[in-house]
Structure 1
Amino acid sequence: MEKIKATLLIISLFILTSCEIVQETKFESDGSGKYSLGFDLSEMMKMGQDTKEGTNEQLDTLIVFSEFLEIKKDSISKLSKEKQDKIKQLENFSLYIKTDSISNKFEMKINYDFDNLSELKLFGEKLKEQDIKELELLSSKTKDMKNGEDNGIPDFNKSYNTVFNKELFSTKISPEGLVEAEKNKDTTMTKDNPMADMIRFKTKYFFPYKIKKVNNKNVRVLPDFKGIEITGNLFEINNDPKYFDVDIEFEQE
């Protein structure tokens, strides 16, 4: 996310459709982990926003970029060092995509392995301007609504200051993100607006430690007490930029 603006941007991509964007982060005890971002544009396609007569796009695949880079290493070695370095930034990514223009289905999930929180913040930067046809396919679905963004992949990590260790977890919107959110706030949005519940954003966090205390009333603690889930609709996110802020205290052995 480029500040909180990207949150509102990605929501705007799905206006008048029903969708849920799911973000998951799983932490290991050493601070590394796996992040994933998944979304479904099927409803938008069903409404004919990207339908072209005579076309039939069908794809159901998982791309593990570390394997792809190994297979293509000879070709990659012939590129400039700048391009090699750029491509190698994809090593920790995998991408699942399923699209079918006949049944109007479009689903995508991007997975990213990170070594620490600093690397997690680089999620969007590493994807930026990568020449990946599957990501270009996503961009083509949203190109008329993106307001000039480089690609269709939002980065929800960049606007949050996050801390994780064996004692606590904390993630809060940054001061810059808060200013941006207030600037882009839709003051006409009301709780009873029919569109308010059509777009939902869900974020999940999984930990290696049991949760003792949580300070956010929007949080649902998972049954094993080692994870949380927060779901917000368009109205809630628009009117409360701190909706996803949370502090967690872990049990100590």
Structure 2
Amino acid sequence: MKVTKLLLALFTAVALTSCNFTEEIYVNNDGGGKFSIQLDGSQLAAMAGKEMQNDPQAGKVIDSTFSFKELFAAKEDSIAKLPTDEQERLRKLENYTVSMKMNAAEQQMLFTMATDFKNIGELEDAWSAMSGMSALDKGMGKTNPMAQAGGIGNNNSLLKYSYDGKKFSRKATLLKKETAETENDSLGEAFNMIYESSTYTVKYHFPKKVKKVSNASAMLSSDKKTVTVEYPFMDYMKEPEKLNFDVEFEK
């Protein structure tokens, strides 16, 4: 099955049910590390398990990994025709790899985007960059599943991270408040139901023990090096600034 068909099947499924989104970061002593976003659609797989197993196409076991760079290479001519700013947005995803695992029998449906970074300050918001995938509609037509993905997580904000060994910060800034409100108000009833029943979890691993987290709902691991906070996905979509917090470390 081609990559575009795999993605189309996944994001069509995501758009039909609630999901758990997890943003995870591993920070090294030198400030570099690994970043990933995972969509867990196991709830859908559990609900439609029998139907998916009986469908030869939907019931097919998928375990695939590829890079956006490979995907873009196949559409190089189409991308070259896009405005420069749209091309630049797409290029931000080139270093991301995509992993897809779908198994109806095991009620598994996972989608992960991941990348390594040398400096967390340079880390781009994956959802914001992904929204640029809609620009490929002209080149891929109705077979462009990534345009659907951009719609799922785009909350019209700019997300920045900082880490200096003493403090870590996650800060989202709403870019165009009026536009964002209008777009969110116009979400279909079905999508509102999906967002309201979904969650967005941030899970950050640090090389040092955490002294304090500015979010009262944050949970610390037993070794005090991992911070986990779970939010309603609707907060992520409508009020991304609610997900902002700082972390201070022990000396």
1:30 aligns with 2:30: yes
1:115-154 equivalence runs, <5 A:
115-121=118-124, 123=126, 125=129, 129=133, 149=148, 151=150, 154=153
Partner of 1:55: 57
How far apart in 2 are the matches of 1:150 and 1:172?
22
Asked if the contact 2:61/2:104 (under 8 Å) is kept, the reply is no
How far apart in 2 are the matches of 1:178 and 1:207?
32
Pick which of 118-127 and 108-117 moved more.
118-127
Higher relative contact order (CA 8 A, sep 6+): 1
Per-residue CA shift, 1:5-31, capped at 9, x if unaligned?
xxxxxxxx8677343111101111222
Per-residue CA shift, 1:165-184, capped at 9, x if unaligned?
11101112214276666555
How far apart in 2 are the matches of 1:234 and 1:91?
26
RMSD of aligned alpha carbons: 4.8
Asked if the contact 1:36/1:111 (under 8 Å) is kept, the reply is yes
Letter in 2 for 1:221: L
Asked if the contact 2:131/2:151 (under 8 Å) is kept, the reply is no
Distance 1:42 1:26, change over 3 A: same
How far apart in 2 are the matches of 1:64 and 1:211?
35
Partner of 2:43: 43
Taking structure 2 as the reference length, the TM-score comes to: 0.61
1:20 aligns with 2:20: yes
How far apart in 2 are the matches of 1:64 and 1:250?
36
Q: Secondary structure at the match of 2:216?
A: coil
Q: Secondary structure at the match of 1:243?
A: helix
1:72-111 equivalence runs, <5 A:
92-100=95-103, 105-111=108-114
Distance 1:15 1:243, change over 3 A: farther
Partner of 2:158: 159
Pick which of 168-177 and 150-159 moved more.
150-159
Asked if the contact 1:178/1:241 (under 8 Å) is kept, the reply is no
Structure with more helix by fraction: 2
Q: Secondary structure at the match of 2:43?
A: helix
How far apart in 1 are the matches of 2:178 and 2:61?
40
Aligned residues: 212
Q: Secondary structure at the match of 2:224?
A: coil
Partner of 1:190: none
Q: Secondary structure at the match of 2:207?
A: coil
Runs (5+) with no aligned partner, structure 1: 1-12, 70-75, 131-135, 187-193
Partner of 1:249: 248
Per-residue CA shift, 1:86-105, capped at 9, x if unaligned?
99977743332122467774
Distance 1:168 1:177, change over 3 A: farther
Q: Secondary structure at the match of 2:229?
A: strand
Shift, 1:227, TM fit: 1.6
Asked if the contact 1:59/1:97 (under 8 Å) is kept, the reply is no
Shift, 1:212, TM fit: 1.2
Asked if the contact 1:56/1:102 (under 8 Å) is kept, the reply is no
Partner of 1:214: 213
How far apart in 1 are the matches of 2:20 and 2:200?
6
How far apart in 1 are the matches of 2:220 and 2:199?
18
Identity, % of aligned positions: 22
Per-residue CA shift, 1:33-89, capped at 9, x if unaligned?
1111111234346469x97966345243252649x97xxxxxx7xx88x87x99997
Taking structure 1 as the reference length, the TM-score comes to: 0.60
